[in-house]
Structure formats: C-alpha cells, structure tokens
Amino acid sequence: MRIIVIAVGRLKQGPERELAERYRKRFDEIARKLGFRGLEICEIPESRARDTATRIAEEASAISAAIPQGSVLIALDERGENIDSQALALRLSRWRDRSIPSATFVIGGADGLSPELAAKEKLKVAFGAATWPHQMVRVMLLEQLYRTATILSGHPYHRA
C-alpha cells in the first residue's frame, strides 16, 4: 500500500520542511517491512483566483488529478473526527490487509475542499478543535504516519 500526502501549498526551506522530511524518511525506514510502499508527498500550487468558488474548483481539479485510482481518501479538516494514533494505525492496517492500493491524505487550501472531493472521503480527520497553519498540519500528519508505523511494528516510539 502506498501512502500519499497531497498538500495545497509549498513548504519553504526551513525547519518545517526539515522536520517533515525527517518524519517521511523515518516512516519509510519502518513501513516497508510492514507492507507499505513508502510515503509520497505531492504539493499542489495554491490557486490565485480572486473568488473562493474558483479557487476551490481549481485546487480540487489538481488534487483529483493526483489521487491514484482505487485510493482511500482521508481529508484533514478542522471539522473532522479526532482519532487517536492507535485508531489511525488500525485503519491503515485494515486497508493494507484488504489490498487497498493506496491511502491518500489531503490537506486542502485555505478555503477547504470542494463538495465533490468531500463526498469521496472515507475519513475526515482533525488535529483538535484549534485551527492550525498548513505547514504545521503537514508536519503533524507526517509525525502521526510515522507513529502509526511504529505502533504496527511494535517499536517503542509510541508509549500509550
């Protein structure tokens, strides 16, 4: 199973990008032994359209083009479900065991995801009730994906 993170916007050079890359590499080191084929990051440029509807539509088109056929779609959204690391690990392992080819996590733009994309979500996840900058959400997601790999492998990183 491939794990894909599609994020609207770019992480500039600096500590956030370095931390994100560190967690991506850590995930890859453990996850391959667990039947995951790596963690890919796809950055989608933010739409420069003036009106919200056009921005959402343009970003949705680019996001949709990056989602592989047969992928499970997981959206990061402040109105999503607060699930713990164990539950996320369990869901990923179930999808992997059912031979789902990929799980795609989407971090939408500032205006959110289009209703068409939202209708395809298998899961909507929030990192608490607070609103987080997209850069931090990406780092937190990558850390959680690394944590799920450590949970599934029995690694001591996760001590619940």
Element (H, E) at 24: helix 15-31
Would you say residue 158 lies in a domain? no
Would you say residue 71 lies in a domain? yes
pLDDT band at 129 (very low <50, low <70, confident <90, very high): confident
Query: Tens of pLDDT along 33-78?
Result: 999 998 999 999 999 999 999 999 999 999 999 999 999 999 998 8
Give the domain range for residue 107.
2-153
Q: How many domains does the chain have?
A: 1
Would you say residue 86 lies in a domain? yes
Tokens in use for 72? 């499970």
Tokens in use for 125? 């996840």
State how far the Cα of 31 lies from the Cα of 16, in Å rounded to an integer.
22
Weakest-pLDDT range from 20-29, 95-104, 151-160: 151-160
> What does pTM read for this prediction?
0.94
Would you say residue 131 lies in a domain? yes
CATH number at residue 51: 3.40.1280.10
